[in-house]
Amino acid sequence: METREVLQKLKNGELSLEEAEQYFRRQPFEELGYAKLDTHRKVRSGFAEVIFCSGKTDEHLLSIFGKLYEEEGEVFGTRASKQQYEMIRQKYPETQYDEVSRIIKIEKTEKKRAGKIAVCTAGTADIPVAEEAAQTAEYFGTYVERIYDIGVCGIHRLLSQIETIQSANCIVAVAGMEGALASVMAGLVDKPVIGVPTSVGYGASMNGLSALLTMINSCANGIAVVNIDNGYGAGYMATQINRLGVKTNPL
Amino acid sequence: METREVLQKLKNGELSLEEAEQYFRRQPFEELGYAKLDTHRKVRSGFAEVIFCSGKTDEHLLSIFGKLYEEEGEVFGTRASKQQYEMIRQKYPETQYDEVSRIIKIEKTEKKRAGKIAVCTAGTADIPVAEEAAQTAEYFGTYVERIYDIGVCGIHRLLSQIETIQSANCIVAVAGMEGALASVMAGLVDKPVIGVPTSVGYGASMNGLSALLTMINSCANGIAVVNIDNGYGAGYMATQINRLGVKTNPL
Amino acid sequence: METREVLQKLKNGELSLEEAEQYFRRQPFEELGYAKLDTHRKVRSGFAEVIFCSGKTDEHLLSIFGKLYEEEGEVFGTRASKQQYEMIRQKYPETQYDEVSRIIKIEKTEKKRAGKIAVCTAGTADIPVAEEAAQTAEYFGTYVERIYDIGVCGIHRLLSQIETIQSANCIVAVAGMEGALASVMAGLVDKPVIGVPTSVGYGASMNGLSALLTMINSCANGIAVVNIDNGYGAGYMATQINRLGVKTNPL
Amino acid sequence: METREVLQKLKNGELSLEEAEQYFRRQPFEELGYAKLDTHRKVRSGFAEVIFCSGKTDEHLLSIFGKLYEEEGEVFGTRASKQQYEMIRQKYPETQYDEVSRIIKIEKTEKKRAGKIAVCTAGTADIPVAEEAAQTAEYFGTYVERIYDIGVCGIHRLLSQIETIQSANCIVAVAGMEGALASVMAGLVDKPVIGVPTSVGYGASMNGLSALLTMINSCANGIAVVNIDNGYGAGYMATQINRLGVKTNPL
Amino acid sequence: METREVLQKLKNGELSLEEAEQYFRRQPFEELGYAKLDTHRKVRSGFAEVIFCSGKTDEHLLSIFGKLYEEEGEVFGTRASKQQYEMIRQKYPETQYDEVSRIIKIEKTEKKRAGKIAVCTAGTADIPVAEEAAQTAEYFGTYVERIYDIGVCGIHRLLSQIETIQSANCIVAVAGMEGALASVMAGLVDKPVIGVPTSVGYGASMNGLSALLTMINSCANGIAVVNIDNGYGAGYMATQINRLGVKTNPL
Amino acid sequence: METREVLQKLKNGELSLEEAEQYFRRQPFEELGYAKLDTHRKVRSGFAEVIFCSGKTDEHLLSIFGKLYEEEGEVFGTRASKQQYEMIRQKYPETQYDEVSRIIKIEKTEKKRAGKIAVCTAGTADIPVAEEAAQTAEYFGTYVERIYDIGVCGIHRLLSQIETIQSANCIVAVAGMEGALASVMAGLVDKPVIGVPTSVGYGASMNGLSALLTMINSCANGIAVVNIDNGYGAGYMATQINRLGVKTNPL
Amino acid sequence: METREVLQKLKNGELSLEEAEQYFRRQPFEELGYAKLDTHRKVRSGFAEVIFCSGKTDEHLLSIFGKLYEEEGEVFGTRASKQQYEMIRQKYPETQYDEVSRIIKIEKTEKKRAGKIAVCTAGTADIPVAEEAAQTAEYFGTYVERIYDIGVCGIHRLLSQIETIQSANCIVAVAGMEGALASVMAGLVDKPVIGVPTSVGYGASMNGLSALLTMINSCANGIAVVNIDNGYGAGYMATQINRLGVKTNPL
Amino acid sequence: METREVLQKLKNGELSLEEAEQYFRRQPFEELGYAKLDTHRKVRSGFAEVIFCSGKTDEHLLSIFGKLYEEEGEVFGTRASKQQYEMIRQKYPETQYDEVSRIIKIEKTEKKRAGKIAVCTAGTADIPVAEEAAQTAEYFGTYVERIYDIGVCGIHRLLSQIETIQSANCIVAVAGMEGALASVMAGLVDKPVIGVPTSVGYGASMNGLSALLTMINSCANGIAVVNIDNGYGAGYMATQINRLGVKTNPL
């Protein structure tokens, strides 16, 4: 409902003064005291609110989990510990937990997936971050191709998969250490590459800062970068891009 | 022509041994000695090769400019100085130069633009970087909406433009100093935001590093970041995303 | 008593030579050997000395806690562990402890609060730091409005509270990750904003350094910044500013 | 005019539909194309908009300077070069320029100053930044006490001025190199101290970053910090604090 | 014995060829396989070798401890854990351990101390580092004055001790957080100040790096700096300086 | 088999179309799903694939360990924990584990060693990294001379070993803290020096970053540097260089 | 005159009330408005005030230069440009200037030098910083031995000078690039070494920061470090140490 | 002549006492006062001393250039400016200067080159550093294959040259921006790769620091890294390695 429409209805008497006032003062979130749940979010962005579980108290986590589940019929959390999972499934036994990606969720069963993105890793140690990306994208209705362990120190492994990669609407390149994977991939495809530096490495990797710098300085075109280990952010943006490609919002 | 097709033709005698060998050894670039022009690039990525003018000698720049012009009928360079422009238009008087974006180009006249992206800046000092992004995207066939000087210290300026911004396939958010623009925008739209930190600022801005960190650490979803002042990279990736949205490659 | 007054009295015989000498050599602190308790502090600054509990041995903490309690009739400590609380309440059962803010205190009951400051957070994970700020300000006699979880990725939550925020004498903006909250707020109010970066975040947040840089580089006016997670420092300075506004020192 | 009032008037017919719609869509800034002058700013914050001259083209600077002068009857710019001053006074011969602070302005003559702040420097090389702070505060109606060259390596110079400093509503401490001045001052006064690190120094001063870190890590209470060399920001916030003290907005 | 003397003796037949060759190939250390004990060290530097206990295996530590004890009749180790102490005193029950400084030693009883140095700290949390400095200096024969908790946020505490400090041959200034103590002290004395930054602090203190930068950038003269938490290094160098003052090597 | 040879054979009918196609699509690695074992590696580089054990799940580690053992008849892993060793020897009791270097392996018994490299350390705490280098080189057939605890603060220890060091084909210089060993050595030999900074140190050593910078900035010639604590990388490259010297690949 | 003495005299009538008050309010510096000349400095520290010329306006520099010359009969400035020298000698033709060290001075002719310090450099590019140290020490009455170009990449050059170096009361080690000189020297002498990192180098030397880190992390004992390129600070502290050695203040 | 031999000869009377003493005190460098020319260097390392021209005064440069030319019959300098070249060829007209590499030299004409190294660059802007490496290696007798502009964003350019690269004894990989070239190459060859990060790039490249970190963190084996832009160092070490391969020192 647009501003003009509201005013017209007020003028016409279709809306009371209070109802019209409410419109301009509406509060598109649910106040929990310690938090403001963004229940208006799905309308605004096409994505329901997601829970970043790490650091939340059990009480807060359970309450937010329940509220969102209630409202959407499904719920999705990242960076959950196994202890948090044990706590939640006491109350919601249908909860699922994946130890690799540390994703916790209750998901509707009838969901379809559309389009295609490719989630790639340089090494096996990057897989947890890649799975966070892949499962996020899947939760939001994206079909995901996983291609793992194709780092640049054995470039033939990447080249052997290039046709699959080229067929995706968006590529997520997950790499730690020197993080060179994203540059090489961007030179081989015509779709956007989202680089996800990981904290895999030691010494001068500085917990992923080196990989982040590598990706940001890429000489290739068509790369943008998210935070270190931010699989969720990459999966989210890849979904946005994929939706443009499939021209249909599967949720 | 696929591998199998080549082999089949060789077997059938439609290709000589030399021709087949050539296929597998083909060199999809033009060797200039000091450079290898990637003339295969447009086929692979849908984008012709672009010249990063900064630091090139006059002789090399002129030669590369000419080669690409010849091959594509148009040519596009970034980070060109006025001196480089003066030098090039001696030989190619049809060359155009924009002092703000420092883009130099000869562009075909009949080109159409499709879709829409929004290029936004926090302040007026960010405009040169924004123009590099906008003009890059336009050169590659994207329709661009420019919305400048809407930084977060006067949030009403941003909010007053929000409907225009929401209608784009991709948003490029260009900001220096604390670089908070990208986060605020990503919270208001459902399309991907490409953050471009700029070197605008002083003191602890550390030539854009602070703005880069701000954008990388964004609490909002749907943001990815390119290098400091990398308007070209943002315009390029926004074009890739926009093309997915319009499902048509205008080049 | 001013220098001249002392000298006059000495000359007049109202003070002995020793008493006058004492004045110029006075030592406005209590020597504990391992520490010098600044008992002159309240006279000088209007604030009693506060204990930074972290890292103190049990013996030292208990002794300092007791000394200050004795002298002021109340006492206030920050960054206390639960173990330290258990130890102290053995001797002082009236001690109170808040697990969120990690503040330990014995507070006089008749204290009044004056003026108003607003303590705001970007997310729920920033609340412990915000509570340290809020409870510090309250202990020193300030009325505090808490407004939590209004980060910039959902700007409508902040805008819905703007009138409350604008009515405060000083705003404390607590934010981790990209720390953009402070800039947006400073653009909306006419009172000073104290930015408190927090160590909330991961990867390139570098334990709060990124948020600190964001706030320091703010394009908005009327912001100054304290150390990462330094809720105490923010609550202290907000109290100083608030006292100027209410023109009355409530202690 | 509040939301309810507008709606009531619309309902009553005192406002047309267009007028009411205008209210909710109003744009409190002047659109210049390349910039959005925040003419609503003084109402919102009590401070008129100020020009950051550095990096602006002559054409833009002159236009913005003129617009603001027209609107307010006075105008104030920071970081102006002598060349910019020469250019502006061609058109506005009444313009004043101070080479030390690099402030350019046309100021109303009848302005009064209220309250008191102290602007202090560690060394003589910090004076340009201090003058930017002092003259900003004066422009906005604050009485300023300047106390220069009282760095901590000769602590008696600071101690000799302590009574003057203690009588201010707010202290601005400007220091480069190791930046220790702010800590020492905050321990001696009961008013807020705003630390301004400067880029004065060499080697490991890293253009002011070291002084910034010193001030942020201060063991004293009642300090907050602005960006390196940001005299303007310090003078602005000191004015906000001073106004609380004098309870009168002198503009 | 000088080169010329050896050669003369060889020529004269007072030394055999083998003895002379030995002189030029002598190996002034004891080879343990995993370590080369520098038993020549006391002759060269006036200080016996000291053990950095942290990270050594029990077997290696015990063996080195024994070797040095045997050779010197006393032995001194830094950064020892309580576990290492328990292990060593099994074999050498006369071993002493101080939990604050983490120094382990067996010391000759008849040792005298000469000259005077002052070891000062900003806060109580800096005491462990200060004790490492003080006890090192005492072990090497220096008389030490301890003056703790005189940080710059309460400058009167420092000023009240200034005469004691001024009477020392060398001052060791131990401070974490912003580390401003060293600058203030150097401005008040005419003897060298050795700054020891400590890792005390949080947030932007970056484990002592900020304090290190403060001290390195000091505007005062007569300061030099050792590594973060390096009490041993400061005590050692203060002893070297003190020995110059007393003109007698007490060992 | 070269491209031309394959094509010739296809044309001649010696290869079927499928066989030829296979050649150009060959996949020189074994796909495990979560990893792509580079079994083609020894042919390409002369070194079999090695396992970086740290961070691998037990299941993945055991499977990769077994696969490589099967294929090569021996297997070599770095950064293995004792727990991983206990797990592996359940299945492969012939496995050997060295607690110092954290290397796990099953090695063929008949292997010979050729040439010579020198592995040197500055202190005893650098030995674990040095052993990783030495044992890696030995596994790949290099004869290794170990010279430990010859750091620059007792330069005579280094000088006493200089003839042994000069006789090696390559020198590996392992040093933490200030990492000066590599520069001094490179000035004394005519063979390449590989610097390995270690994380040994504290305070401003920043976990080895300082030592890395020291070595990278060396004023001496003939030094190149690997990552902090990267003994494996140094032993690998030293082996490559040694093989050039002995002109025989001992594997 | 001590406090007690003043009070006694007041009581006795030997001092008037005003004279006594003056004592406690005395201001041991000369107020120039823009600066506070520390004319009390020589009494307090044994060193007259010195001018840091860089960045001073001509007017200020000339005035300060004159004041100090007047008061002491000699004057000493560092970091002077040739232009500043030309300006000053207009008025004071007896002024001397050294282009290498950039020291400007008028020095009394009868001055003696006592004791000995050694000023050493790693390379020839470090000489300007070394000369600032050496000439500072000489001005303050120290005998200086210069030993240049003895960097660690040709260790024999250092060893050939070791006897001269060992005979000094203090060693100043000036080095850029990797800055290893200080460590090696400290291992060879029994006197304190002051490390001066220089900005000589390129790339990862980060303008001297790497050399600073090397020296701070030294494994040798008896080293402390001053700021990058701070020859003056090193020469000053070396003089303090040397004076302890010679037990006579030559000024 | 070995130690024993000298002693034997002394004993036999074949050497005088003075001659023998001279042997043990010999000074293997030429003292110029401001520098110590390492004329013993070629004997020790197989490489004559080279001049780093940048920052040398004309007088010093000319004198050193002449001394070395005299001694060796040829001379080689790096980082020379055109002005320095003009100055030198006044006296030595046979001097050659290359503007790209900034190498200045007089080279013997009869020199042969042996073995082979490959010098590769990612882009054309890296060529100056690559030429410094290549010409250094050539001067020291190495045959050099140049392969430029094969960066990873167009991986086919690299793959097309792989056979040439694989035939070298050592590969020098020169790359700025993200510096990924070294990793990809090391995965494709069995010889050591020397990574040379360059300062080519902008923004977060931080003048080559990002490329340095990329190379240091490489996931590939057989890489070591030299300083940013240090072509000379890479060419030197590649020569050392190549000499091992050809088993003949061509100088």
Tell me: the pLDDT tens digits for E108-138? 988 899 999 999 999 999 999 999 999 999 9
Paired tokens of G59: 């007017």
Whether C27 has a pLDDT exceeding 60, the answer reads no
d(CA C248, CA C112) in angstroms, rounded, equals 11
Count CB atoms within 10 A of the CB of residue D227.
Answer: 29
The secondary structure element, H or E, covering residue C105 is: strand C103-106
Query: Is C245 part of the contact surface with chain D (CB cutoff 8 Å)?
Result: yes
- The sign of the dihedral angle between the CA atoms of E100, E103, E106, E111 is negative
Query: Is F66 part of the contact surface with chain H (CB cutoff 8 Å)?
Result: no
Whether C232 has a pLDDT exceeding 50, the answer reads yes
Residue range C80-98, pLDDT digits in tens: 999 999 999 999 999 999 9
Distance from CA of E8 to the nearest CA of H (A): 7
Residue range A72-112, pLDDT digits in tens: 899 999 999 999 999 999 999 999 999 999 999 999 988 89
Confidence of residue A29 (pLDDT cuts 50, 70, 90): low
Q: pLDDT in tens for each of the 251 residues of chain D?
A: 567 777 888 888 888 887 777 666 555 567 777 777 776 667 667 788 899 999 888 999 999 999 999 988 999 999 999 999 999 999 999 999 999 999 999 999 888 999 999 999 999 999 999 999 999 999 999 999 999 999 988 888 888 888 899 999 999 999 999 899 999 999 889 999 999 999 999 999 999 999 999 999 999 999 999 999 999 999 999 999 999 998 644 44
Which of F29, F212, F230 is closest, CB to CB, to A157? F29
Q: Are G106 and G95 in contact (CB under 8 A)?
A: yes
E and G: number of Cβ contacts within 8 A:
95
Neighboring chain D residues of B146 at a CB cutoff of 8 Å: none
Which chains sit next to E, with 3 or more Cβ pairs under 8 A? C, D, F, G, H
User: What's chain E's length in residues?
Assistant: 251
Query: Is A71 part of the contact surface with chain C (CB cutoff 8 Å)?
Result: no
Q: What is the DSSP letter of G171?
A: E
Neighboring chain G residues of F153 at a CB cutoff of 8 Å: 183-184, 186-187, 218-221
Query: Is G71 part of the contact surface with chain H (CB cutoff 8 Å)?
Result: no
- The sign of the dihedral angle between the CA atoms of H138, H142, H145, H147 is negative
Whether C154 has a pLDDT exceeding 70, the answer reads yes
Q: How many CA atoms lie within 13 A of C239 on its CB side?
A: 27
Q: Are G144 and G176 in contact (CB under 8 A)?
A: no
What average pLDDT does range E237-247 have in this prediction?
A: 92
Query: Is A3 part of the contact surface with chain D (CB cutoff 8 Å)?
Result: yes
Neighboring chain D residues of E228 at a CB cutoff of 8 Å: none
d(CA E113, CA E116) in angstroms, rounded, equals 9
Whether B66 has a pLDDT exceeding 90, the answer reads yes
Query: Is B101 part of the contact surface with chain C (CB cutoff 8 Å)?
Result: no
C-alpha closest to that of D211 among D171, D249, D180: D180
From the CB coordinates, do chains E and B have 3 or more pairs under 8 Å? no
pLDDT at site F250: 46
Whether B205 has a pLDDT exceeding 60, the answer reads yes
Paired tokens of G40: 């009390």
What average pLDDT does range B35-44 have in this prediction?
A: 69
Query: Is G162 part of the contact surface with chain C (CB cutoff 8 Å)?
Result: no
d(CA E7, CA E19) in angstroms, rounded, equals 11
Residue range C36-45, pLDDT digits in tens: 777 666 766 7
3-state secondary structure of D5: helix
Distance from CA of G153 to the nearest CA of F (A): 4
Domains, chain G: 27-106 (no CATH), 114-246 (3.40.50.1970)
Which of B124, B156, B160 is closest, CB to CB, to D34? B124
Query: Is E38 part of the contact surface with chain F (CB cutoff 8 Å)?
Result: yes
3-state secondary structure of H129: helix
d(CA H5, CA E3) in angstroms, rounded, equals 16
Distance from CA of A167 to the nearest CA of H (A): 19
Give percent above pLDDT 90 in chain A. Answer: 65
The shares of helix, strand and coil residues in chain C, as percent rounded to the nearest 5, are 45, 20, 35
Alpha carbon B108 to chain centroid, angstroms? 17
- The sign of the dihedral angle between the CA atoms of D52, D53, D58, D61 is positive
pLDDT at site G251: 44
Distance from CA of D13 to the nearest CA of C (A): 28
Residue range H233-248, pLDDT digits in tens: 999 999 999 999 986 4
pLDDT at site H159: 85
* CB neighbour burial string for H139-158, b if at least 16 within 10 angstroms, e if fewer: bbbbbbbbbbbbbbbbbbbb
Nearest CA in chain C to G6: C21
pLDDT at site B90: 97
Whether A193 has a pLDDT exceeding 50, the answer reads yes
Top pLDDT among B249 and B49 is at B49
Q: Are F242 and F250 in contact (CB under 8 A)?
A: no
Could you give the C-alpha distances from E102 to D209, E54, E97, E135, E198, in angstroms and in order? 34, 10, 7, 10, 15
pLDDT at site B204: 94
Q: Are F218 and G178 in contact (CB under 8 A)?
A: yes
Q: Pick the residue of E36, E65, E198, E226 with the most F CBs within 10 A to test the interface with F by mutation.
A: E36
Confidence of residue H250 (pLDDT cuts 50, 70, 90): very low
Query: Is B23 part of the contact surface with chain F (CB cutoff 8 Å)?
Result: no
Neighboring chain C residues of D232 at a CB cutoff of 8 Å: 221
Paired tokens of H148: 């430029």
Amino acid at D44: R
d(CA H250, CA H115) in angstroms, rounded, equals 10
Question: What does pLDDT average to over chain H?
Answer: 89
Q: Residues of F numbered 185-204 whose beta carbons fall under 8 angstroms of chain G's beta carbons: which are they?
A: 186-188, 201, 203-204
Distance from CA of A189 to the nearest CA of H (A): 10
User: What's chain C's length in residues?
Assistant: 251
Paired tokens of F162: 């200089």
What average pLDDT does range A233-241 have in this prediction?
A: 97
Which of F125, F127, F203 is closest, CB to CB, to E229? F203
pLDDT at site H29: 67
Question: What does pLDDT average to over chain D?
Answer: 89
Q: How many CA atoms lie within 13 A of A130 on its CB side?
A: 26
D and G: number of Cβ contacts within 8 A:
49
Nearest CA in chain H to B61: H124
Nearest CA in chain C to B181: C180
Report residues of chain G scoring pLDDT below 70.
1-3, 22-29, 39-41, 43-44, 247-251
- What is the C-alpha end-to-end distance of chain A, expressed in Å? 22
3-state secondary structure of G225: strand
Query: Is A245 part of the contact surface with chain B (CB cutoff 8 Å)?
Result: yes
The stretches of chain E forming alpha helices (DSSP H) are: 3-12, 17-25, 41-45, 58-72, 82-91, 127-139, 155-159, 162-166, 181-186, 209-216, 231-246
- What is the C-alpha end-to-end distance of chain D, expressed in Å? 23
ipTM exceeding the 0.85 mark: yes
- Characterize the bridge pairing of strands A223-225 and A193-197: parallel
Choice among A13-27, A133-147, E144-158 with the minimum mean pLDDT: A13-27
The residue whose two tokens read 């005590």 is E235
Q: What is the DSSP letter of D142?
A: E
The shares of helix, strand and coil residues in chain B, as percent rounded to the nearest 5, are 45, 20, 35
Confidence of residue H126 (pLDDT cuts 50, 70, 90): very high
Partners of D193 in the β-ladder: D171, D223
Query: Is E246 part of the contact surface with chain D (CB cutoff 8 Å)?
Result: no
Alpha carbon B59 to chain centroid, angstroms? 24
Q: Are A226 and B224 in contact (CB under 8 A)?
A: yes
Top pLDDT among E1 and B187 is at B187
Residue range H12-60, pLDDT digits in tens: 888 888 777 766 655 556 777 777 777 666 766 778 889 999 988 899 9
Q: Are D185 and D158 in contact (CB under 8 A)?
A: yes
C-alpha closest to that of G68 among G104, G116, G102: G104
Distance from CA of B105 to the nearest CA of C (A): 34
Query: Is E223 part of the contact surface with chain D (CB cutoff 8 Å)?
Result: no
Count CB atoms within 10 A of the CB of residue C190.
Answer: 17
d(CA B193, CA B208) in angstroms, rounded, equals 18
Confidence of residue C250 (pLDDT cuts 50, 70, 90): very low
> Are the beta carbons of D154 and G41 separated by less than 8 Å?
yes
What average pLDDT does range C222-239 have in this prediction?
A: 97
What average pLDDT does range E172-199 have in this prediction?
A: 94
3-state secondary structure of G201: coil
From the CB coordinates, do chains H and D have 3 or more pairs under 8 Å? no
Q: Pick the residue of H36, H43, H52, H216 with the most F CBs within 10 A to test the interface with F by mutation.
A: H216
Q: Are E39 and E72 in contact (CB under 8 A)?
A: no
d(CA H39, CA H42) in angstroms, rounded, equals 7
d(CA B193, CA B16) in angstroms, rounded, equals 51
What are the counts of helices (DSSP H) followed by strands (DSSP E) for chain H?
Answer: 11, 11
pLDDT at site C251: 44
Distance from CA of F198 to the nearest CA of A (A): 8
3-state secondary structure of B219: coil
Confidence of residue C2 (pLDDT cuts 50, 70, 90): low
C-alpha closest to that of E4 among H13, H22, G164: H22
Query: Is B8 part of the contact surface with chain F (CB cutoff 8 Å)?
Result: yes
Whether B136 has a pLDDT exceeding 50, the answer reads yes
Whether E3 has a pLDDT exceeding 50, the answer reads yes
d(CA G90, CA D163) in angstroms, rounded, equals 42
What average pLDDT does range F116-134 have in this prediction?
A: 96
Whether F155 has a pLDDT exceeding 50, the answer reads yes
Neighboring chain G residues of E233 at a CB cutoff of 8 Å: 221-224
Q: How many CA atoms lie within 13 A of D138 on its CB side?
A: 18
d(CA F199, CA B177) in angstroms, rounded, equals 35
pLDDT at site F29: 67
Whether H251 has a pLDDT exceeding 50, the answer reads no
Nearest CA in chain A to D4: A21
Longest distance between any two alpha carbons in chain H, whole Å: 72
Q: Are E119 and E100 in contact (CB under 8 A)?
A: no
Distance from CA of E210 to the nearest CA of G (A): 13
From the CB coordinates, do chains A and G have 3 or more pairs under 8 Å? no
d(CA E33, CA E31) in angstroms, rounded, equals 6
Residue range D91-114, pLDDT digits in tens: 999 999 999 999 999 999 888 999
Could you give the C-alpha distances from E228 to B97, E55, E178, G218, G226, in angstroms and in order? 54, 18, 13, 12, 14
The residue whose two tokens read 């406690």 is G24
Residue range H134-168, pLDDT digits in tens: 999 999 999 999 999 999 888 888 888 888 999 99
Distance from CA of G28 to the nearest CA of D (A): 8
Most confident range, picked from C4-8, C49-53, C193-197: C193-197
Query: Is G116 part of the contact surface with chain D (CB cutoff 8 Å)?
Result: no
Query: Is H179 part of the contact surface with chain G (CB cutoff 8 Å)?
Result: no
Contacts from F4-7 at CB under 8 Å and sequence distance 24+? Answer: F4/B17, F4/B21, F7/B10, F7/B17, F7/B20, F7/B21
Which of E3, E17, E25 is closest, CB to CB, to H11? E17
pLDDT at site A28: 58
The pTM (predicted TM-score) of the whole model is: 0.90
Distance from CA of C129 to the nearest CA of D (A): 16
